[in-house]
Amino acid sequence: MTGTVTAAGANWQAWQASWDRQQEWYLPDREERFRVMLDMVEAAAGAEPRVLDLACGTGSISDRVRTRFPGATSTGIDLDPALLTIARGYFAQESRVEFVTADLRDPDWVSKLPHTSYDAVLTATALHWLTADALRVLYRQVAGIVREGGVFMNADHMPVESTPRINAVERRYRKAQQQREKAAGVQDWADWWRMVAADEVLAGPAAERFKIFENPTDSSSDHKDGNDESPQWHAAALRDAGFAEARPVWCSVTDALVLGLK
């Protein structure tokens, strides 16, 4: 049973649930984008897909893939030692899910994968830390491992800058809602990482993580060097990378899910 307390005292199920709660504070429609993502996987690849969970974190997508598709397999790939520790602990008894440690900025990251092609490559709220140029390179690499007829989907922050007043109205509403929830005890990104760093089991992996990435408990903003491109930019970049068709298949005011069909 995944998520049971280990001899070292880690309750992986509790850690996975706390990650989900923290992410939902930023993304209240998180499950809706996952639903659309998996609907499109089934539409394009059937009910037993081979999935690559790109920049997988704790394995949120893999968790939903295995629940939705009992015949599916998933490979998660990430560089974060702390998030991968939670993922590997949570899925320790699940033979259909495996994890690979790799840096997506490494030109050879694809060679570390256990398979040469996938029915679906999925990622959510993870690639915004890459620059636009690095993301174009990544999209070309992904196009090389998605089988013909397979799909790539990226759900992330993709603002539309041509509507500044709409954006400002949404931002005020969202910030006010977050402040109310924070006052009620909901953890934000920095709070969650402080809890990880203070944990007996995860303190070591967290320290390793802070050597690789900016420390999220610092007051300075994270991902400041990343991209902030529109859904249309992502769709065009996917077509340039080798996908036959690409367009948004879901959106909120601030975020979108862009699909590329090989």
- What is the pLDDT, as a whole number, of residue 8? 55
User: What is the pLDDT at residue 9?
Assistant: 59
Q: Is residue 118 helix, strand or coil? A: strand
- DSSP lists the bridge partners of residue 50 as 73
- pLDDT of 5 reads 47
Confidence of residue 7 (pLDDT cuts 50, 70, 90): very low
Q: What pLDDT is attached to residue 133?
A: 96
Q: Supply the pLDDT for residue 3.
A: 43
Binned at pLDDT 50, 70 and 90, residue 166 comes out as very high
CA torsion 83→255→29→199, rounded to 10°? Answer: 20
Indicate the pTM of the whole model. 0.93
Average pLDDT, the chain: 93
On the CB side of 207, CA atoms within 13 Å amount to 6
- Interatomic CA distance for residues 242 and 261, integer angstroms: 9
Q: What is the mean pLDDT of residues 51-64?
A: 98
Q: Is the pLDDT of residue 113 over 70?
A: yes
Q: Over 90: is that where the pLDDT of 214 sits?
A: no
CATH class of the domain whose range is 12-261: alpha beta
CA atoms of 4 and 11, how far apart (whole Å): 5
Q: Which of 82, 112, 88 is nearest to 204 (CA)?
A: 82
Residue 119: name the closest of 141, 85, 147, 89 by CA.
147
| Residue 45: Cβ-neighbour burial (10 angstroms; 0-12, 13-18, 19+) | buried
